[in-house]
Structure 1
């Protein structure tokens, strides 16, 4: 039972880690690409596009923060299961 829980937590942690890296990648090139995409789909003033882009980037940053928190919670549970305080530090 504990081994299954540990395996499930490691799997979830890995998935969150992948999603964080993917989100960071998209966030890094978000500005110019988002403006091009939004502008190709709608004829909006530049100020409106800038607001939309900033809102989308902020949302993506919140999602990254939430996934980082989830990883920290998973790490705490893994430490509890393993009795090891060092293996998952700032991973």
Structure 2
């Protein structure tokens, strides 16, 4: 039972890690003016694009923070199951 729980937690941790990297990439693309590509097809005023970009960046940052917190909670549970305090520190 504990091994199944540990495996499930490792899987969840891995999925969150992947999602964090993906969200960071999208955030980087927003900061790298990728929004201009969208604007060339959407034909929106620059002010609207700026608002949309800021809102999307804020949302991505919030999601990244939430997933980092989830990983910390998973790490705490893994420490509890494993009895190892160092394996999951600051990843």
- Alpha-carbon offset, residue 67 of structure 1: 0.4
CA contact (8 A) 1:38 1:49 kept: no
Please state if 1:16 is matched with 2:16: yes
Point out where structure 1 has 5 or more consecutive residues left out of the alignment.
none
Q: TM-score, normalised by structure 2?
A: 0.90
Q: TM-score, normalised by structure 1?
A: 0.90
Point out where structure 2 has 5 or more consecutive residues left out of the alignment.
none
Instruction: Give the ranges of 4+ consecutive aligned residues of structure 1 lying more than 3 Å apart after TM superposition.
Output: 31-34
Partner of 2:47: 47
**Greater Cα offset, 29-38 or 51-60:** 29-38
1:43-69 deviation per Cα after TM superposition (whole angstroms, max 9, x unaligned): 321011101001001100100000000
User: How much is the aligned-residue C-alpha RMSD, in angstroms?
Assistant: 1.4
- Alpha-carbon offset, residue 29 of structure 1: 1.4
